[in-house]
């Protein structure tokens, strides 16, 4: 046995002990997390961390190793915090937007007993999933009327989060006013421009001034706070309840099947589902995309959807998104995915879900 082998043998034995100790430490960390959860305490305790580092590094025999040890124990504590986040936030769900927005409504319907956390931007919600601030994020993926929400796909391509399920929310717009107001009292109508467009047939019958607002929920909040009976908002029924408004006219959108598809995004791919989504790039050469499609066809899978989106860091180059019908764990599916992976770049399975 040469010197390298001998040293590695020692490392192997130490790693066994460290692994066992790591498990024991994390078990104790679990108890800390449960205590903090019950007592509404913050996970990060800087004084305690400073104490842990100080108390241990002072006893180090090898002076040279002290800075490395500090780095090491800090990393251990960072891992411990991330684990505690996952315990404390296991029933917290994130969405983008304000209370009463359709994303909020979808999250509430999906997780009626969960805690909610809202983010100003989609990217914030995705990062919240990655760092275990929230268990999952509910993000709008596509609207039957206005089309795809491309930004979400870009985030799924960029970050290592995955679609775990999908949820279709019927979007019903309503005219909301102050209690006691009637359709004849209304002079101005506030809402998001798309919502106003969706209700043109109804609005044609009136001479209302139509005023675009940042989003439907904020428009409702504004009308409620204005205390002005001549103002109304176009928004959901849930928003009326939230801001104490009355429904003056119900379900006023022209298209009666206006639906938004939401994706529930988390950190791990589910065990199985009857659909999956992949993303990839191919070389800028003739037939490269066709090759991937032929692989899917050769294995007999049904490709339900294909989209291309521009790559943010390479002008006029694109990545592709594909939805395929089939079970992720099937052997045939695994072989097909392996072949696709070998014939493309940046290949990722970004979702496994039921449809
Ligand atoms: C485990 C705790 O939570 C965090 C993690 C620490 C650790 O892993 O040692 C120390 C302090 C906290 O920032 C704790 O408060 O004791």
Residue ranges and CATH numbers for the domains of the chain are 3-88 (1.20.59.10), 91-164 (3.40.190.10), 174-249 (3.40.190.10), 269-355 (3.30.70.260)
Segment among 82-86, 227-231, 273-277 with least mean pLDDT: 82-86
End-to-end CA distance of the chain: 57
Per-residue pLDDT band for 59 (boundaries 50, 70, 90) equals: very high
CA 113 – ligand 1 centroid, Å:
28
Beta strands in 78-120 (DSSP E): 92-96, 115-119
- Grade residue 148 by pLDDT with cuts at 50, 70 and 90: confident
Segment (H or E) for 47 = helix 46-57
Please give the ipTM for the structure prediction: 0.98
pLDDT over 90 (residue 89):
no
* Helix (H) or strand (E) run with residue 55 in it: helix 46-57
| Protein residue with its CA nearest to atom 1 in ligand 1 | 29
pLDDT at 325: 97
Alpha carbons 274 and 327: distance in angstroms, whole number = 5
pLDDT band at 215 (very low <50, low <70, confident <90, very high): confident
pLDDT of 355 reads 86
For ligand 1, residues with CB inside 6 Å are 29, 32, 43-45, 48-49, 52, 77, 80-81
* Residue located nearest, by CA, to atom 10 of ligand 1: 49
Index of the ligand 1 atom closest to the CA of residue 28: 1
Can you read off the two tokens belonging to residue 96? Answer: 């983008």
Q: List Cβ neighbours of 331 (8 Å cut-off, separation of 6 or more).
A: none
> Is the pLDDT assigned to residue 228 strictly greater than 90?
yes
For 265-276, the pLDDT digits (tens) are 999 999 889 999
Confidence at residue 147, expressed as pLDDT on a 0 to 100 scale: 81
Judging by DSSP bridges, how do beta strands 302-310 and 147-148 pair with one another? unpaired
């Amino acid at each position: 046995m040469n010197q390298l082998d001998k040293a590695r043998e020692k490392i192997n034995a130490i790693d066994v002990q460290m692994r066992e100790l790591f498990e024991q430490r994390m078990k104790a960390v679990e108890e800390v997390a449960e205590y903090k959860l019950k007592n509404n305490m913050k996970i990060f305790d800087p004084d305690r961390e400073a104490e842990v580092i100080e108390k241990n590094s002072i006893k180090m025999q090898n002076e040279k190793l002290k800075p490395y040890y500090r780095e090491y124990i800090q990393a251990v504590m960072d891992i411990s915090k991330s684990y505690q986040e996952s315990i404390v936030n296991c029933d917290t769900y994130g969405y983008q937007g304000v209370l009463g927005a359709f994303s909020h409504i979808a999250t509430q319907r999906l997780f009626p007993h969960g805690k909610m956390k809202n983010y100003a931007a989609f990217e914030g919600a995705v990062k919240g999933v990655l760092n275990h601030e929230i268990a999952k994020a509910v993000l709008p993926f596509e609207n039957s009327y206005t089309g795809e929400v491309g930004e979400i796909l870009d985030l799924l391509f960029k970050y290592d989060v995955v679609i775990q399920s999908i949820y279709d929310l019927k979007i019903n717009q309503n005219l909301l006013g102050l209690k006691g107001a009637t359709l004849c009292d209304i002079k101005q109508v506030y809402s998001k421009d798309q919502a106003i467009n969706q209700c043109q047939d109804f609005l044609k019958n009136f001479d209302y001034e139509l005023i675009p607002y940042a989003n439907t929920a904020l428009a409702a909040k504004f009308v409620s706070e204005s205390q002005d009976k001549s103002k109304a908002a176009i928004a959901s029924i849930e928003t009326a309840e939230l801001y104490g408004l009355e429904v003056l006219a119900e379900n006023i959108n022209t298209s009666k099947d206006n639906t938004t598809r939401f994706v529930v995004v988390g950190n791990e791919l589910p065990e199985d589902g009857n659909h999956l989504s992949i993303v990839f790039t191919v070389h800028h050469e003739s037939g490269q995309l066709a090759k991937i499609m032929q692989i899917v066809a050769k294995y007999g899978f049904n490709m339900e959807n294909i989209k291309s989106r521009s790559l943010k860091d390479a002008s006029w180059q694109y990545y592709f998104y594909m939805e395929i019908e089939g079970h992720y764990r099937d052997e045939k599916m695994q072989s097909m995915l392996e072949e696709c992976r070998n014939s493309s770049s940046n290949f990722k399975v970004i979702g496994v879900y039921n449809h």
